[in-house]
Amino acid sequence: MENETLPEKVDVLIVGSGVAGLATAISAKYFGAHPIVIEKSEYYGGSSALSGGAIWCPANHLMCEAGMEDSIEQAKSYLRHECGELFNEELVDSFLRNAPEAIRFFHEQTHVKLKHRPFSPDYHPNVDGALQGGRVLDPEEFDGRLLMDRLHQLRPPIKEFTVLNGLQLGRQDLVHFTRMTRNFQSLLWVVKTVMRYYYDIARYGRYTKIKMGAALVARLAYTAFQQHIPILTRHHLLRINDSTEGIVSVQIQTPMGEKEIFVSKGVVLAGGGYPHNQAKKKETYRHLQQGFEHYSMAPCSSTGDTIQEAERIGAKFLSTNLNPVSWTPISKIPQREGYRYFPHLFMDRAKPGVIAISSLGKRFVNEAVSYHDFVQEMLRNCQEEGSTYCWLVCDGPALRKYGLGAVPCFPGRVSPYIESGYLVEANSIRELAEKLKINYDSLKATIDCYNEQAKKGVDLDFGKGGDSYQLALGDAENKPNACLRPLRNKLYAVQLFPGDIGTTMGLDVNAKGQVKNGLGEVIPKLYAVGNDANSVMSGSYPGAGITLGPALTFGYVVGKSLGSGEI
């Protein structure tokens, strides 16, 4: 498969091999077209392979078959609230109408096997139209050995989300690894998992139990390989050649040199947005213009080449979203040369014994809100205080039970993170204030106030642990509030900066994924899906899986249209 080359002419050329691109290819092939997927990187999978793999799909058949109730109208009401004045009814209606059909197609007609989460609250569970569970789907674990010689081309996981330098932990693994010193069954789980990991490394050079976003990508890729759809890595889109009748051909840089490919039905842009395009980031990220640091967890290959090339031939780029990116707080892990980055998504902030502190020593946010909401509040507070960062603080018991950022829980080692400067350790509030260069009186007053409220289990200032989403991320064993406990013992801190897991601003598309120009007219034979298309959510973040849900859905919509000819 790796020796495949580009033909002189293709039906459909898909640029990008994340979930959106692969979903488009599979759908196009199923409905009658002959697609090819090209990928600039040496790996297929894009940022999808680094994600948690959650898929948000209201009224999906799996939840309905399990007896859970939902409706398109209810979901639309929720999204209308989330998107506010930027609510795009055309795109939202298309997504909600087609998503259940797309999920059923991939679950029943491909190797993509999904399961619903009975309990997984939308990120703002008290808003009209929100649900407590069912809308979020997860891919089942995948046996990487089925990919054979293409396994090594699947994008590897983020190092900091693995143990033993490559063992990826899924949701169930995390439960067992964090309680293995307190539960014998969890200890057995860990021992078996580690033994399997070392066997795989010796036999295949990589752990073959593929999980989360990588499992979704692997299942899609395996389907594509079974359908004989070429996925060509190290192939870079250089230029789109168009005429008055639409796209004629594209120029592609291949490992063997530049090549022109004629396209009969369409070009689909699925390049993953522009999280590593410095010029476009400065145009659209207001905080960068104000001097903030910013870091992205997306692959470095996501540089917005596809978006820029579409703009060159007249496509309209929308820059009016509520937010330019899907935010996440980031901590920087010192390396011998530069840094690695850790996204503080959900493992630490909501836990009891953990609080966020501004540069002036004050709490400024409900630490248990979503990663997206957290950074929005962080930026607002930093702009008020004239700062560009904050601190995540915990005590000794919290650090050893839950970990903090990249610092593992017990029995993982803490000392290397202290020695590198990633983790700040202090024996008292005064020492912590000195090390963080924060006013002692302000920090002490903040911690004292928090501790008094935490004793009663009610955060009167910010409401930490105040809804089902927040409580689900806390510690159910901690009473009376799963997210609150007074700070005690030694104190530890990690510095946080604004970051992202992908961009939300993108090309203006219609309900069928067709790219529009500045006049609102469709550019013939040009489509965009995934983060190359403007966010269906208009830059809001309603719940887990709101990127991959539309990626699968519009990949299906575009692929079906191209395959069947029903544009």
Region of poorest pLDDT, from 3-7, 215-219, 260-264: 3-7
Side-chain-side CA neighbours of 18 within 13 Å: the count stands at: 32
E-assigned strands of 42-170?
55-56, 114-116, 136-139, 142-143, 162-163, 167-168
Is residue 101 in a domain? yes
Is residue 239 in a domain? yes
Q: How far from chain centre, in Å, is Cα 136?
A: 14
Give me the CATH number covering residue 420: 3.90.700.10
Give me the CATH number covering residue 107: 3.50.50.60
pLDDT tens column, 300-330:
999 999 999 999 999 999 999 999 999 999 9
Is residue 113 in a domain? yes
Tell me, yes or no, whether 401 and 487 share the same domain.
yes
- Whole-number pLDDT of residue 496: 98
Tell me, yes or no, whether 147 and 137 share the same domain.
no
Between 146 and 567, whose confidence is greater?
A: 146
Domain stop point among 195, 210, 225: 210
Domain stop point among 210, 228, 255: 210
Confidence of residue 1 (pLDDT cuts 50, 70, 90): very low
Tell me, yes or no, whether 42 and 53 share the same domain.
yes
- Whole-number pLDDT of residue 158: 86
Confidence of residue 142 (pLDDT cuts 50, 70, 90): very high
Tell me, yes or no, whether 134 and 252 share the same domain.
yes
Question: For 241-262, b where at least 16 C-beta lie within 10 A, e where not — what string?
Answer: ebeeeebebbebbeeeeebebe
pLDDT at 443 over 50: yes
Is residue 300 in a domain? no
Is residue 320 in a domain? no
pLDDT at 4 over 80: no
Tell me, yes or no, whether 50 and 117 share the same domain.
yes
Confidence of residue 246 (pLDDT cuts 50, 70, 90): confident
d(CA 99, CA 368): 29
DSSP per-residue codes, 177-216: HHSTTT-HHHHHHHHHHHHHHHHHHHHHSS--EE-HHHHH
pLDDT at 2 over 70: no
Domain stop point among 210, 227, 259: 210
Report residue 478 as tokens. 């901690």
Is residue 295 in a domain? no
Share of the chain above pLDDT 70, in %: 99
Tell me, yes or no, whether 529 and 410 share the same domain.
no
CB-based contact 357:394 (threshold 8 Å): no
Tell me, yes or no, whether 395 and 524 share the same domain.
no
Tell me, yes or no, whether 350 and 381 share the same domain.
yes
Q: How many domains does the chain have?
A: 3
Q: Residue 182 is part of which domain span? A: 142-210
Tell me, yes or no, whether 109 and 222 share the same domain.
yes
Report residue 506 as tokens. 């993108």
Summarize the confidence of residues 222-228 as an average pLDDT: 98
d(CA 540, CA 82): 6
Nearest to 426 by CA among 357, 368, 340, 338: 357
Summarize the confidence of residues 490-509 as an average pLDDT: 98
Tell me, yes or no, whether 232 and 367 share the same domain.
no
The amino acid occupying position 290 is Q
Side-chain-side CA neighbours of 451 within 13 Å: the count stands at: 13
What is the average pLDDT value for the chain, to the nearest integer?
96
pLDDT tens column, 392-438:
999 999 999 999 999 999 888 999 999 999 999 999 999 999 999 99
Q: For Cα atoms 428, 432, 434, give the angle at the middle one, nearest 5 degrees.
A: 120
Summarize the confidence of residues 335-349 as an average pLDDT: 94
SS3 for 303? coil
Is residue 289 in a domain? no
Tell me, yes or no, whether 528 and 421 share the same domain.
no
CB-based contact 553:93 (threshold 8 Å): no
Tell me, yes or no, whether 109 and 235 share the same domain.
yes
Is residue 311 in a domain? no
Instruction: Specify the pairing of strand 354-357 against strand 55-56.
Output: unpaired
d(CA 92, CA 79): 8
